[in-house]
Structure 1
Amino acid sequence: MKKTAVLLDLGFVLHKLYALLGNRAATAAEIREFAERCINPTEEELFRIYCYHCTPYGEVQTHPLTKQRIDFAATPTYIGMNNLLRELSLTDNVAFRAGELSFDGWVIKKRSAEEITRTGRPLQGSDFAPDLKQKRVDMKIGLDVAWLASRQIVDRIILVTADSDFVPAMKFGRREGVQVILVTLSHRQVKHDLLVHADEVRSVAYP
């Protein structure tokens, strides 16, 4: 049996599972169940599931139009994501690696900009969204791949993503003798480099 680690780009996984589950958010149990589906039980033994995602942004900022003070920690998005990540981190055989979200100001939503251009209506408070940038997720995946591969802890790494930023980690793992399997959940815009540097592209059905 091949000892296998499953690495989930959780932002991508949550987005894809949302559609697969009929437009509802996945639970921690469903995320673990999906990760187990990525394993081929006839030849692979699960070592651990690694989940990579930014903790939700919870600071207070001033809205650029309404000047209202917005406490992001009180929003349903923050509360729901915080609960999910806490539950996931307590799930058996799951290791959660937290990145960070940086607040880079406010942007006008694409749909609002198109509507304003078409109709000439004035700006509204709901036209704005926080500009949040993800940090350190790529680095943490790279560090885990380096540790798993260089110490020969696992024989295979299953990476669930469509982000080509993880190609350097894939290349390193393969150079160290680990097989890298890519699961894309039938994403239509998978970068060519991801396919090139995977030993196998695996199809996983869920639910």
Structure 2
Amino acid sequence: MTARRIAILIDGGFFLKRLPKLVASDQCTSAQGIATCIRRLCASHINQLTGDNDKRWQRHVYRTFFYDAVPYEGKAHHPIDNHAIDFAKSDVARSRHELFDVLRRQRKLALRLGKVTKEHDWTIKPALTKKLLHTRQWIGALDRLAGQAEDTPESTTSLELSPEEARSLLNLRELWHSLDGGTVSLGLRQKGVDMRIGLDITTLTLKRQVDTIILVAGDSDFVPAAKLARREGIEFILDPLWQKVNADLFEHIDGLQSGLRKPGAPANDNTQSRTERDQAQLQAPDEED
């Protein structure tokens, strides 16, 4: 069989977030385990496209591209837990750098790294922020206390609370005491990853380096690049790792195909045809992260 020229582009952040939902936990907790899952995904895609189970599947691969961001390595002080954080020494940074080292040693795999930058300081989760703002009405009794303090600044002030005001202040106290370290987050943002994916799709297309591009991603940011590839005659396949995609995206791709088995599917699921996979994907329940 004549070798195909297939490029597989993997959005690493999306892949690592979805992977625990698709494989057993012991297969995705180490760098070697994750690398094995990437090879399995790529081999499955190639075997489905070529129609065989040739162990030399990598001869059809132009290159596998894995996109991610170098973890944030700054320092910060946690406003609730009241301790210093060195992000460079965190478990996330350690495990991610370990994964990068393993992937750099993989055959026909190119690592494309953006970076994580700090855009703003600590913020409370949006849902909790809205809840806290609604507590303004609970402190109405304190307005009377403030007025007394202004009228007689040298005197001791006292405040009689109605049962409803007392309950409101106790609820407010309980709400603030419920805040823990997980209710706030530092304003970190990944940069440069989507740009690298778009540039590589464009380069692979215009230089005619491949005849098929498989993109493992979960959003629609790829649409402009996918349009270019398809206009130039490149087959463009999307693997959203069984996360449901919007129906209007189908006009911008040549098909859906999964490289990993759907959760709960029987062991022979990988024998499904592409048409069956497309139909199953359209009918799959919405699994937004």
1:34 paired with 2:41, answer yes
1:81 paired with 2:96, answer yes
Contact 2:63 2:109 in 1 (8 A): yes
Percent identical pairs in the alignment equals: 34
- Matching residue's letter, 2:230: R
Contact 1:5 1:48 in 2 (8 A): yes
The 2-side partners of 1:55 and 1:85 are apart by 9
Q: Which digits, 9 at most, give the CA deviation of each residue in 1:64-111, with x for residues without a partner? A: 345532100111111011111221122111001001111122222467
Residues 75/111 of structure 1: CA separation in 2 closer, same or farther (3 Å cut): farther
Q: Which digits, 9 at most, give the CA deviation of each residue in 1:159-185, with x for residues without a partner? A: 111110111111111122211011122
Q: Which digits, 9 at most, give the CA deviation of each residue in 1:127-170, with x for residues without a partner? A: 22222211111111111111111111100001111110111111
Contact 1:162 1:191 in 2 (8 A): no
TM-score by length of 1: 0.87
What does 1:23-62 correspond to in 2, within 5 Å? 23=25, 24-25=28-29, 26-39=33-46, 40-42=49-51, 45-62=60-77
Contact 1:108 1:129 in 2 (8 A): yes
The 2-side partners of 1:125 and 1:136 are apart by 29
Larger Rg: 2
Contact 2:240 2:258 in 1 (8 A): yes
Q: Quote the residue 1:148 is aligned against.
A: 204
Q: What runs of 5+ residues in structure 1 fail to find an aligned partner?
A: none
SS in 1 for 2:222: helix
Contact 1:167 1:193 in 2 (8 A): no
**Aligned CA-pair RMSD:** 2.5
1:171 paired with 2:227, answer yes
Q: Quote the residue 1:8 is aligned against.
A: 10
SS in 2 for 1:97: strand
Cα drift, residue 206 of structure 1: 3.4
Aligned length in residues? 206
Contact 1:162 1:194 in 2 (8 A): no
Residues 82/67 of structure 1: CA separation in 2 closer, same or farther (3 Å cut): same
Contact 2:40 2:259 in 1 (8 A): no
Cα drift, residue 115 of structure 1: 8.6
Q: What runs of 5+ residues in structure 2 fail to find an aligned partner?
A: 136-170, 263-289
Contact 2:12 2:68 in 1 (8 A): yes
TM-score by length of 2: 0.64
Cα drift, residue 195 of structure 1: 2.2
Q: Which digits, 9 at most, give the CA deviation of each residue in 1:178-205, with x for residues without a partner? A: 11011122102x2344322001111333
Contact 2:201 2:229 in 1 (8 A): yes
The 2-side partners of 1:66 and 1:187 are apart by 35
Q: Which one has the bigger strand percentage?
A: 1
What does 1:182-193 correspond to in 2, within 5 Å? 182-188=238-244, 190-193=245-248
Residues 128/94 of structure 1: CA separation in 2 closer, same or farther (3 Å cut): same
